[in-house]
Structure 1
Amino acid sequence: MSTFNNDHYNKLVEFIKIHQDDFYRLAYSYVHNRDSALDIVQESIYKSLTSIDKLKNINKIKAWMFSIIINTSISFLRKNKRLIITNNIPEAVQYQNIDIADKMDLHQAIERLDMKYKTVIILRYFQGLKINEIADITGVNVNTVKSRLYSGINRLKVILNKRG
């Protein structure tokens, strides 16, 4: 029996309208391909709209939606059995004061990380999320997020130092 909540549905639709660019940047940070990222966002929005009854707490809408996008992105990568890597600087990642060679090195280093480290680094440093939001999205506790950030950054340093 469906427990459709019209108020939740309307809030979700409004949230999607406001944050669609954030959704795209998040998906793009995984697949590095414009069309694939757009497909992932479209599929994620469809999943969220058709499973709105699973959203128990409307205050967790951001974490819930980002989780759907991350899981859809990971499923896409698994289904295609490859990481999509381009020679372009990811358009989703906009960071200043780094020259183009360093951006390429950072992009390639992030691609080499395990998914658990890559996810928390992207959410924290490229999406600007707080530690507790990342914990909600990934379904792990705050200390695990902190540990993965610390370990992921250290792994990035090792990868980048080997290149330098």
Structure 2
Amino acid sequence: MGQLKLIKKAKAGDKKAFEKLLSLYSDRLYRTAFLYTGNREDALDIVQETAYKAFLAIKQLKENKYFLTWLTRILIYTAYDLKKKQKKDIPYEYISDLPSNKNERTDEHIDLVRAINELQDNQRDAIILFYYHDLPIKEVAKIMGIPKNTVKTYLQRGKKQLKNTLKGVGYSEGKVI
């Protein structure tokens, strides 16, 4: 069944259709949540809370084709809410749990996640959405609710900071993102 049909059914109150939609995007949601939290348990909590909030608000989705954008935005706000509640440094002991499509060494992955978490919030959001989710700048701008040129600025500044941070832990100049 097509995604747009599932979205229409979910908006009409079909719980099974909503569950299918969530299962389509569950890995992506988890990876994004993990990048914000740094541990498995909090990432799963964020995904669960996102699913709950999205289920309650699905009828407010205006354009069905932007379901994933809408869902990702809910996830980001939920991650920020959790971080505000915790007000603590991100523990990195579960870093190896992050599912990755790339075969990276664990220590490099830990350094990269730490460096990403040191970025300003807007830069981190842009980097995660653009590089981890391979979203076009237009889509990143829509999720973040900012102009495309601002996204480009955040990406440029974020990459520069990541290069500076990771240069200190042994990354070569061309190896960062």
Normalising by the residue count of structure 1, what TM-score does the alignment of the two structures yield?
A: 0.85
Matched, 1:139 2:145: yes
Matched, 1:119 2:125: yes
Q: Is the 8 A contact 2:96 2:106 kept in 1?
A: no
Q: After TM superposition, list the pairs within 5 Å mapping 1:150-161 onto structure 2.
A: 150-161=156-167
Report the Cα distance in structure 1 between the residues aligned to 2:130 and 2:153, rounded to whole angstroms: 13
Q: Is the 8 A contact 1:77 1:83 kept in 2?
A: no
Map of 1:89 onto structure 2: 95
Corresponding letter in the other structure for 1:135: A
Map of 2:3 onto structure 1: none
Matched, 1:8 2:11: yes
Aligned match for 1:78, one of 65, 78, 84: 84
Q: After TM superposition, list the pairs within 5 Å mapping 1:31-50 onto structure 2.
A: 31-50=37-56
Moved over 6 A (4+): none
Q: Alignment length, in residue pairs? A: 160
Q: Structure 2 unaligned runs (5+)?
A: 1-7, 171-177
Alpha-carbon distance change, 63 to 25 in structure 1, aligned in 2, over 3 angstroms: same
Corresponding letter in the other structure for 1:8: K
Alpha-carbon distance change, 43 to 101 in structure 1, aligned in 2, over 3 angstroms: closer
Q: Structure 1 unaligned runs (5+)?
A: none
Higher relative contact order (CA 8 A, sep 6+): 1
Q: Is the 8 A contact 1:31 1:83 kept in 2?
A: no
- Give the share of equivalent positions with the same residue, in percent: 33
Map of 1:25 onto structure 2: 31
Q: Is the 8 A contact 2:46 2:79 kept in 1?
A: yes
> How big is each residue's C-alpha offset from its partner over 1:32-86, in whole Å with a ceiling of 9 and x where there is no partner?
1211111111111110111122211111111100000010001100111123221
Q: Helix, strand or coil for the counterpart of 1:82?
A: coil
Q: Helix, strand or coil for the counterpart of 2:90?
A: coil
> How big is each residue's C-alpha offset from its partner over 1:73-127, in whole Å with a ceiling of 9 and x where there is no partner?
0110011112322134353352646444333322221121111111111112122
Report the Cα distance in structure 1 between the residues aligned to 2:37 and 2:90, rounded to whole angstroms: 5
Alpha-carbon distance change, 107 to 129 in structure 1, aligned in 2, over 3 angstroms: same
The CA RMSD measured in Å over matched residues stands at 2.1
